[in-house]
Structure 1
């Protein structure tokens, strides 16, 4: 897992790429839906371990967080290893 500090918008975007509801991400990250909702709507500064759990849950499914304050932030979705085209 990268040490990048992810933004609420990146969490929403990553969840959207996976077509996950807040309930699904909350369960996968072992946080409450209320907590996730507050983080995504930028109503609370999340604890480091909570943010790390959310980031890890998304990254396990192929979401990658990119960017920085100077260049901007974003997300991308890598295909699952079993979906990769094999050659040879």
Structure 2
């Protein structure tokens, strides 16, 4: 699976939507808090190793975030619709 290219601003916006601090993202992604702080200190595209980027994106997706690619309206993030459980 190809890794979606996302910006640091999208990561910060995703955390804000979820109400997560950098420490929360670190814990949920299995990365260290200093790693998250270092990644978010830059601007532009999310840097780091492919495994690190995937850990960050996976944690945010599991939290309910959907990343929106450039589609003419600009990149972004949103809370994904939750699937209803059938009874």
Q: Normalising TM by the smaller chain, what interval?
A: 0.7 to 0.9
Counterparts of 1:54 and 1:85, CA distance in 2: 27
Q: Give the ranges of 4+ consecutive aligned residues of structure 1 lying more than 4 Å apart after TM superposition.
A: none
Taking structure 1 as the reference length, the TM-score comes to: 0.79
Counterparts of 2:62 and 2:33, CA distance in 1: 19
**Structure 2: where are the runs of 5+ without partners?**
none
Counterparts of 2:72 and 2:34, CA distance in 1: 31
Taking structure 2 as the reference length, the TM-score comes to: 0.80
Between structures 1 and 2, the one with greater strand share: 1
Alignment of 1:7-46 (within 5 A): 7-42=7-42, 45-46=47-48
1:35-77, Cα deviation, whole Å (9 max, x unpaired): 1111112178311110100000000121010122865310000
- Number of residue pairs the alignment of both structures matches: 84
Instruction: From 73, 76, 85, give the equivalent of 2:75.
Output: 73
Cα RMSD, aligned residues only: 2.5
